């Protein structure tokens, strides 16, 4: 099954918003998909969570406001909490979902390698660490 991009309605549910600007949400989702595809292409089926996270950050804080005061209320957001970007965790999640995470081993031995010794063996002596 191929990746299916989330909808504006799903972004609204993800953000807990009753109403959402559909055209803006669709644009941000398309841009989030394109951004995610810079890490993994094609996107795995489960990448919807990462796409919604990326689009959601940009939807709720497009100007990357870090501190705002309106009358007696003020709010401070972490720096880099808005706009359209991938976090290190987003990139790691995409790679893990695509099966590209973790360590691996490469065996450089050719399949045709012969396990017999390549040094000259004396018929009366066994090879080992000490040769008299």
Q: Distance (Å, rounded) from C-alpha 75 to C-alpha 51?
A: 26
pTM passes above 0.75? no
Write down the pLDDT at residue 1: 62
Write down the pLDDT at residue 60: 82
Q: What is the largest CA-CA distance in the chain?
A: 97
Q: Distance (Å, rounded) from C-alpha 27 to C-alpha 11?
A: 12
State the 10-residue block means of pLDDT for the chain, 132 residues long. Answer: 87 90 92 93 91 90 69 71 80 88 79 75 61 54
Write down the pLDDT at residue 102: 67
Assign residue 80 a region (left: φ > 0; alpha: ψ between -120 and 50; beta: otherwise): left
101 token code pair: 């995470």
Write down the pLDDT at residue 101: 67
Write down the pLDDT at residue 113: 84
The residues spanned by each domain of the chain are: 8-97
């Amino acid at each position: 099954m191929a990746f299916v991009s989330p909808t504006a309605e799903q972004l609204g549910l993800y953000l807990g918003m009753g109403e959402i600007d559909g055209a803006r949400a669709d644009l941000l989702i398309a841009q989030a998909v394109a951004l995610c595809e810079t890490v993994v292409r094609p996107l795995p089926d489960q990448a919807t969570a990462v796409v919604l996270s990326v689009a959601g950050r940009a939807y709720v804080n497009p100007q990357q406001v870090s501190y705002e005061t309106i009358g007696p209320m003020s709010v401070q957001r972490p720096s880099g909490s808005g706009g359209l970007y991938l976090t290190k965790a987003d990139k790691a999640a995409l790679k893990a979902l695509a099966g590209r995470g973790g360590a691996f081993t490469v065996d450089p031995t050719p399949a045709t390698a012969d396990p017999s010794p390549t040094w000259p063996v004396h018929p009366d002596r066994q090879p080992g660490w000490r040769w008299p």
